[in-house]
Structures are given as C-alpha cells and as structure tokens.
Amino acid sequence: MDIKLEKFNPLDFDLYYLLVSDIQIMAMVTERGLTIEEAKSDFDETIINNELREEYGMFKIFEQDSGTFLGLAKLEIKKLDDKEAELGYLLLPAYWGMGIASKVSKMLIEKALNDPQMEVLTAIIDPKNLASRKVLIKNQFESREFKDFEGLPGEILERKLRY
C-alpha cells in the first residue's frame, strides 16, 4: 500500500479526534481515550506547532490511491532551531500489522536526514508496545532510557542522525 502524508490543518479536528478518543488506539499512549476538551487543546497546540517549519509537525496518513485516512504521523520540534525531533504515529486498528508504521517511519526519518540541522530523533513508546519497538529498532533507534510519564511507563528510543 502506498501512502502519503499531509499536514493537519484547522479543519481536521474530526480526523484527529477519531484517533485520540479511541481507547484501543490510545491503550499504549495514555491508557484511555482523550476527552473532547483534552483533544481540542492538544489539537490547537498541534496546529500552532505545524507552522514552525514545513517539514516538521503532525501529518495525516492517507492511502495514496483511494485517499483513505489511515492515521497520524508526527515529526515534532518544539522550537524553530531544535536539533532534536520526536517521531511518532497512531494508526486506525484496521490498518495495524500492514507495514504502514514502517513506511511512515522511513518517510519521517528521510525528512529529518534531509535537514542538516537535525541531529537526533527520539520516539517514546509504552514498553509493552513490542510492535512499535520492533519498527523503531529496525530503523536504527536504540533504547536510551525508561521513564515515568505522568504515572505511565515509557521507553525513550533514539536515533542519532549526525555524529
């Protein structure tokens, strides 16, 4: 399946909420679906963050030919001059296990590699999320540390882009 990425825009809240309100999708992120208020707050921040740099932000994942919405991908920076970006993705359950996370990861890594300023990519996963861990390890991420995130377990993985 060929995929394409397109940045979220202010009219895309419904697609975002479809993902983050689903407990099955969010089980290894927040262990619960987000409320509409939480989702709106996060989405507003996403839209602002998407303006920092063209190649960074939160992207909708579509199937290339049909235009079917599959999920979201992020290559997120916090400031214009960041040298570290966070890679992540959420997929609708119907598309789990189809290699989409691997394809998305490769696309996001390529974006970062094309930026001479970018030095490191990080990803944060639930340590129980073996599928995501496998995708990241396959893409040359290494475990950096285990950490508590607001009472939830997390593993931070890292890929150095420049040495």
pLDDT digits (tens, 9 = 90+) for 6-52: 999 999 999 999 999 999 999 989 999 999 999 999 999 999 999 99
Instruction: Count how many domains the chain has.
Output: 1
pLDDT digits (tens, 9 = 90+) for 119-136: 999 999 999 999 999 999
Residue whose structure tokens are 């979201």: 72
E-only strand ranges, the chain: 3-7, 57-63, 69-76, 84-91, 120-125, 142-149, 152-160
Report DSSP letters for 29-54, one per residue: TTSSPPPHHHHHHHHHHHHHHTTS-T
- Full residue range of the structural domain in which residue 44 is found: 3-160
Contact 101, 72 (CB under 8 A): no
Can you give the CATH number for the domain in which 86 is found? 3.40.630.30
